[in-house]
Amino acid sequence: MYQSASKSAKKQSNTVGKPSDQNIARRVQTETIDYTEVEQDIQTFQDISNLKLQNKLISFKQPAKKPVVKDFNIQYQQCLKNENQIKSISETVKKCQKPQGIDIINTKSLLISSKPIKQDYSTYTYQNLKVIGSGSFGTVSKSKVNETGEIVAIKKVLQDKRYKNRELLILQELNHQNVVKLKHAFFTPSDNKDEMYLNVVMDYYPESLYTYNKSFRQVQAKMPEILVKIYSYQLLRSIYYISLLSICHRDIKPHNILVNPNQHKLQLCDFGSAKRLVKTEANISYICSRCYRAPELIFGAVNYDTQIDVWSVGCVIAELFNGEPLFLGDSAVDQLIEIIKVLGTPTKVQVLSMNTEYDMQSYKFPLIKPRDWKKVIKTNDSLAIELISKLLVYCPKTRFTPIQALCHPYFDQLRDLNQIKQLKEIYNFNLEELFQFSNLETNKMTNDEIKKLIPNWISCSSTKIVKTIG
């Protein structure tokens, strides 16, 4: 029945989700996954994992204190000697110039960050160690700060001088523990005089959620469900934060989610497709990697909102349980068929809720009943199944919002003090960070949501709620 349904639906390719010529010209490069590049990235991340133990800080013994000179004349002569040495050193330093760029190029600040930072990365130089990602957008390298030894990631993209870089502008505004942090940005010249490269310095994380989840599959195992819960919670926190700024990521997938398995921390990265959505402004529908693309995009909606990120997150969480993508279509229409196989055929009301401009005269889909979610998600946790079923809903308005998902009972285990103590003994993770909400986040919460999301034991352990952003 599914095969015949698929053939019937594919005949509708001219009416369902097919991009116009204009949209094809504007299509994002994340649509097609280059599996050769993915395998290369996986090998790179494995190589990086072998170096984890070499990243420990080296402690140095403090030099012994010099004996105090009690004789005044001797002390005075010593001061004069030191002063002459300082002058000599100062004159030498003035003659020296700082090494430039990544080895040779000046890394002068592109823009002043709107958020205060502890270190001034504009004064540093960088050494590329290894390319850890590449594509049509450019390259991402694992790099080292020469002056401090810190490991960072540098994304290098070709920049058109006529336009501002949307990703950079968005990254400058973001400041959240579950979103990749911008440290610095600078230009380097290209072979073409009319072009330049934009280099964005960011946090470095050793793995992506894709490579980490695959490491379990390679040994025929599943990621522990408590880790699925911890990572899912942090991922939901990241999209809750950016949605408050009206920023839509538009390409959430395991490859664009960074994790540190040693501390079980997660950060959302790669904002190359992200955009601040404006209600009066149309957006392209041909966006987001296919397996994680919300159905309203397949139906050609151009007035969507940040709820398309919620759908993508639901797909990611389901993939952590199942070990493979939940909806694996080989085209836009086939992707819709894969969704229909699970959610059932959408009603006309549901279609219009996804795209009010959809031509209902071309609405001809085979009638398929929805499947039982218990047979779809490979877990015995009924709360996890319920959460996923609320995230993967046709109608964007009835689909769970990020804050509703965070308040779901599935995450109550993380808010229970007794269970938290047990988890801290097993996993090297500061679970209290899960409840450190910023002013921006708490100001948008209701009192009931605050009571739900910030446990009493957090309030008791500190005089006030920790605020990460002023």
Enzyme catalytic residues: 251
Closest among 309, 306, 156, 317 to 229, alpha carbons compared = 317
Locate 67 and state its tokens.
């004996």
> Cβ distance 339 to 279 under 8 Å?
no
> Cβ distance 383 to 377 under 8 Å?
no
Closest among 194, 165, 164, 215 to 323, alpha carbons compared = 215
| Percent helix / strand / coil, the chain, rounded to 5 | 45, 15, 45
Give the separation between CA 412 and CA 389, rounded to whole angstroms: 18
Residue type, 266: L
Residue 3 three-state SS = helix
Sheet holding 182-189, edge to edge: 126-135, 138-145, 151-160, 195-202, 182-189
* Distance from the Cα of residue 253 to its chain's centroid: 9
> Cβ distance 246 to 189 under 8 Å?
no
> Cβ distance 235 to 268 under 8 Å?
yes
Closest among 285, 111, 113 to 186, alpha carbons compared = 111
* 265 annotated as ligand-binding: no
Locate 349 and state its tokens.
């009301």
Give the separation between CA 313 and CA 306, rounded to whole angstroms: 11
Sheet holding 257-260, edge to edge: 207-208, 257-260, 265-268
Locate 393 and state its tokens.
């809903």
Give the separation between CA 333 and CA 375, rounded to whole angstroms: 24
Give the separation between CA 207 and CA 214, rounded to whole angstroms: 11
Task: Compute how many other C-beta atoms are within 10 angstroms of the C-beta atom of residue 403.
Answer: 19
Residues of the binding site: 156
Residues of the binding site for ATP: 156
